[in-house]
Structure 1
Amino acid sequence: MSIAVESLGFFMAALGLLMLGVTLPNSYWRVSTVHGNVITTNTIFENLWYSCATDSLGVSNCWEFPSMLALSGYVQGCRALMITAILLGFLGLFLGILGLRCTKIGSMDLSRKAKVAAIAGALDMLAGACGMVAISWYAVNITQDFFNPLYVGTNCCCASQEDPTARAQLTYKTSTVVMPTATSDEGDSSFGKYGKNAYV
């Protein structure tokens, strides 16, 4: 294998590790925007570690997930996979430096350098696989929640198996307007974790 190919593989592994490092603390793994209510939070966003609410003025209020055992199983799994991916990526990058033929660290011959480079490449591929599984798993759960009619964050749904004759038999009811009344400081259970500045 040429030195150029080894160097390209090393820099690609470093770029992959950098992307994993940027992805893990990113706040926008899940974003929900709520519009149309009298009292509403403009945007709710979360990642694997905390959840935040931002109002229309741009004021944010965040809270960390209280307990690891209280989290969903897929969030715990995604955390473990992402941390494992970063650790494997660091180890692969370190071994990649040792395995490059253009580096002179110690008195390693070319055959040992080739073995170390192969181990580094395997670790980098394993790190990439862990990162892809974690991100895909999280995305699948977001998609399932979006299309779930019983999920709190979904406002409406249309059943694909709905009978059109049943829709035609629905009676029309006039709409009523309910004026909001003054309530105590207790908020809605779904948004009770945020302070008063999270509401518009």
Structure 2
Amino acid sequence: MSGIQILAFLGGLVGLGATFCAPLSNEWRTTSRASSVITATWVFQGLWNNCPGNAIGALHCRPYHTIFKLEGYIQACRGLMIAAVCLGFFGAVFALVGMKCTKIGGSDQSKARMACFAGVNFILSGFCSLSSCSLYAHRITSEFFDPMFVAQKYELGVALFIGWAGSILCVLGGGVFCFSMVDSSTRSSSRTGYAYGGPASTSHVSSHPKGHAQPMSQRPPPKYSSSSRAQHFDKNAYV
């Protein structure tokens, strides 16, 4: 089980790294390259910056200097991604303590609880990242396929796929850590279920401690007289 926990921990770390890199990227949505063939310019937009670029490679990013004028879904995606990173970080810390291969964390039962708590953090982190990326992608697709929307239309950016991949890894790693607690509790209950409870009155327990022989009584050998010895070995005694 410790090997599976190591794989789950590595998957959770990779998912946490992807969740951390996704909000830092400026490619949450991009303008279509096919519609920008003539002008050879396109725009990348993220949660924090707006970056126009061209075919030469020039890219100029401008941050969003306002918070209250931003659209509500962008602020919601920001909050969800920040929560995902924080939950994933705490999940990695608790997973490091609760893994069976580590020497910290106390008894096996407390380590199993710690691993389950880490799994819950990883799962919540994955769902936060998944919700944020899905909300942003839903807004992009609804605007792209809306015939009444006349403003600039965008397509899905690379950061969305990175966030989705990270969320899946976090959920899978968290599920393994939660399953480890169920497995440990099942093993402990199976051990206690086979305890022998037979009656103790059927067996005679010696009052002497183990390893010490019972002392022999020091009796002198019996003395036989000559007459009694002859009587003892008389032939009529065996008839």
Q: Tell me if both proteins adopt one fold, taking TM over 0.5 as the criterion.
A: yes
After superposition, the Cα gap between the structure-2 partners of 1:96 and 1:35, relative to the gap in structure 1 and judged at 3 Å, is: same
Unaligned runs of 5+ in 2: 154-239
Q: State the 1:56 CA deviation.
A: 2.7
Q: State the 1:122 CA deviation.
A: 0.6
Number of equivalences: 150
Deviations 1:26-64 (A, max 9, x none): 121100145366xx4611011000101112322112211
1:123 aligns with 2:121: yes
Mapped to 2, the partners of 1:36 and 1:132 lie a distance apart of 33
Task: Tell me the equivalent position of 1:110.
Answer: 108
Task: Tell me the equivalent position of 1:15.
Answer: 14
- The correspondence of residues 128-143 of structure 1 with structure 2, limited to 5 A, is 128-143=126-141
Deviations 1:117-153 (A, max 9, x none): 0000010000000000000000000001112222311
Task: Tell me the equivalent position of 1:67.
Answer: 66
- For the residue of structure 1 that corresponds to 2:24, the secondary structure is coil
- The correspondence of residues 142-161 of structure 1 with structure 2, limited to 5 A, is 142-148=140-146, 149-154=148-153
TM-score, normalised on structure 2?
Answer: 0.60
Mapped to 1, the partners of 2:116 and 2:145 lie a distance apart of 43
Mapped to 1, the partners of 2:134 and 2:85 lie a distance apart of 16
Mapped to 2, the partners of 1:36 and 1:25 lie a distance apart of 28
Runs ≥4 in structure 1, deviation > 3 angstroms?
none
Identity rate of aligned residues, in percent?
32
Q: Select the structure of larger CA radius of gyration.
A: 2
Is this contact kept in 2: 1:145–1:151, CA < 8 A? no
After superposition, the Cα gap between the structure-2 partners of 1:56 and 1:9, relative to the gap in structure 1 and judged at 3 Å, is: closer
Task: Tell me the equivalent position of 1:193.
Answer: none
Mapped to 1, the partners of 2:114 and 2:51 lie a distance apart of 44
Please tell me the root mean square deviation across aligned C-alpha atoms, in Å: 1.5
After superposition, the Cα gap between the structure-2 partners of 1:10 and 1:144, relative to the gap in structure 1 and judged at 3 Å, is: same
Is this contact kept in 1: 2:36–2:42, CA < 8 A? no
1:35 aligns with 2:42: no
Deviates more, 1:82-91 or 1:11-20: 11-20
- For the residue of structure 2 that corresponds to 1:105, the secondary structure is coil
The structure with more helix, counted as a fraction of residues: 2
Mapped to 1, the partners of 2:72 and 2:60 lie a distance apart of 25
After superposition, the Cα gap between the structure-2 partners of 1:97 and 1:41, relative to the gap in structure 1 and judged at 3 Å, is: same
